[in-house]
Amino acid sequence: MGSADLLLHPVRLRIVKAFLGDRALTTGQLAAELDDVPSGSLYRHVALLTNAGVLQVVAERRVRGAVERTYTLRLFAARIDPDEVRSMTAEQHGQAFMAYVAGMLADADRYLASNPLDPIRDGAEYQVGALWLTDAEFAELLRDMSIVFRPRLANPPGEGRRRRMVYTVFLPEPAPPVNEPPDQSRRPRTRRQRSS
């Protein structure tokens, strides 16, 4: 199974997300967080992710005659290879994006069901903007974001720390067809146009 097929399944994507933020979870704790997933199905998906090296067992203990395992995420193994991304069809990218959005909506639903709900206090926000960037400027933006996020991604769970999910989506505007003239509305106006 390719990493895209493995990771972009809706349930497996939710399992991987549950471990983000340097979390260690037992299957019981995972089942409590994903309580809408039947336990048999959850265990099968955990086994697939473990066999693929995405999850690793970090502890085992006996509980009432059964072995309870604690898992962590091997973040470097939970990535889709760039060559595999390039080979995906538009339909596969559409399915992947739908799985991504479905996971985001599930997280939003869980937050919105919390009580008391206070998005301002909690820093829950969503916004959209448009940036005009050259490829070099976009690369610089990604580098700057990495500088800001990398040390914070290394924070372990701790007192006073609340786990916050961060989603990023960069959607470039589609390129115009080759034979289409450039959009005239984006050209600077001349002095003559301004005076009329």
**168 inside domain:** no
Ranges of the chain whose pLDDT falls below 50: 190-196
Q: Is residue 121 domain-resident? A: no
Query: Is 118 inside any structural domain?
Result: no
Structural domain for 27, as ranges: 3-112+126-153
Predicted local confidence at residue 190, as pLDDT: 47
pLDDT tens, 47-96? 999 999 999 999 999 988 888 999 999 988 888 888 999 999 999 899 88
The answer to the question of residue 47 being in a domain is yes
Which residue do the tokens 């085992």 mark?
60
Distance CA 138, CA 131 (A): 9
pLDDT of residue 196: 39
pLDDT score for 3? 84
Residue 120 domain-assigned (yes or no): no
Whole-prediction pTM = 0.72
> Has residue 184 been placed in a domain?
no
Q: Is residue 132 part of a domain?
A: yes
Q: How many domains does the chain have?
A: 1
Q: Is residue 108 part of a domain?
A: yes
Report how far residue 103's alpha carbon sits from residue 15's, in angstroms, rounded to the nearest whole number. 10
CATH of the domain at 8: 1.10.10.10
Q: Which of 29, 33, 27, 32 is nearest to 49 (CA)?
A: 27
Query: Apex CA 7: angle with CA 19 and CA 136, to 5°?
Result: 90
pLDDT score recorded for residue 186: 55
